[in-house]
Amino acid sequence: MRIDRHAYSSPRQGIHISPWQLIRALHDGYNLSYPFAAFLTMGGFAMLGQFSDMSEDTQEGQEYAPCDCNGKMLETLCSFSSDGKHLTAFDLARARVSREHEYKQRLDGVHSEIARGEVALVLGIFGGPEQKVPLNTLRQWFREETFPKGWEPEHSQTFLKTVHTAWTIRSLMNMIERK
């Protein structure tokens, strides 16, 4: 994890990251509320069966080896932009509907909710008050794993804000699928 806004990810080498360090990095880097950062961290550690420190950005073949951004999938996501400059909740809903139709088996409820939650987080963190994520921000964040120069979060991202946005995306997805 390379959260470079102000070098918040500690330790920088990406090994032996404690849950408490990750919580702090999510709070300091993305301005997630502490309860939300703790929920994501502890939930992630539990889902991975990770009950001690974990490592990221490790060497090939090691636990949690690095993976590069899939440029084709990123550009497919960006292609859903209605204005060619930003992604909105409606654009993300269209992208989720399209992606879910590509699966051979329908996503179960938990994984569907996680997928919507992920895009809701992106929209909440990078979308600003207008809820529009600039494509250049999205590309830099995914490809380079850094924040754009000078970027600062505009508000605290909470669990409830994220859930509300995910529900909005779900409603939009339902509307798109009915057409």
Which pLDDT does position 54 carry in this prediction?
72
Q: Are residues 46 and 74 in the same domain?
A: no
pLDDT at residue 5 is higher than 60: no
If asked whether residues 81 and 103 sit together in one domain, one would say yes
Last residue of a domain, one of 19, 44, 67: 67
Residue 49 sits in the same domain as residue 113: no
Kindly tell me if the per-residue pLDDT of 4 is higher than 70: no
Q: Would you say 170 and 91 are in contact if contact means Cβ atoms under 8 Å apart?
A: no
Token pair recorded at residue 3: 């959260």
Residue 57 pLDDT: 57
One domain, residues 115 and 29: no
The pLDDT > 70 percentage for the chain reads 85
Decide if pLDDT at 18 tops 90.
no
What's this model's pTM, rounded to 2 decimal places? 0.84
Looking at the structure, tell me whether residues 73 and 63 fall in a common domain. no
pLDDT computed for residue 47 by the predictor: 84
Q: Note whether 172 and 90 are same-domain residues.
A: yes
Domains identified in the chain, total number: 2
Residue 27 shares a structural domain with residue 43: yes
Portion of the chain with pLDDT greater than 90, in percent: 60
Looking at the predicted structure, is the pLDDT value of residue 1 above 50? no
Out of 51, 67, 83, pick the residue that ends a domain. Answer: 67
Q: Specify whether 150 is located in the same domain as 79.
A: yes
User: 74 and 57 in one domain?
Assistant: no
Band of residue 135 on the pLDDT scale cut at 50, 70, 90: very high
At residue 10 the predicted structure's pLDDT band, cuts being 50, 70 and 90, is very low
Q: Do 84 and 110 belong to one domain?
A: yes
Integer Cα distance of 25 and 166 in angstroms: 23
Mind listing the pLDDT tens digit for each residue in 19-63? 899 999 999 999 999 999 999 999 988 888 877 777 665 566 666
The residue behind tokens 């951004």 is 69
What are the pLDDT digits (tens) for 77-101? 999 999 999 999 999 999 999 999 9
Q: Quick one: 59 and 91 in the same domain?
A: no
User: CB-side exposure of 14: number of CA atoms within 13 Å?
Assistant: 13
| Range ranked top by mean pLDDT from 83-87, 141-145, 149-153 | 83-87
The pLDDT, as a whole number, for residue 150 is 86
* Peptide linkage before 153 cis (omega within 30 of 0): no
Lowest mean pLDDT across 39-53, 118-132, 156-170? 39-53
Are the CB atoms for 84 and 75 separated by under 8 Å? no
Which of 67, 96, 117 is the endpoint of a domain? 67
- Name the residue range of residue 120's domain: 69-179
| 96 shares a domain with 163 | yes
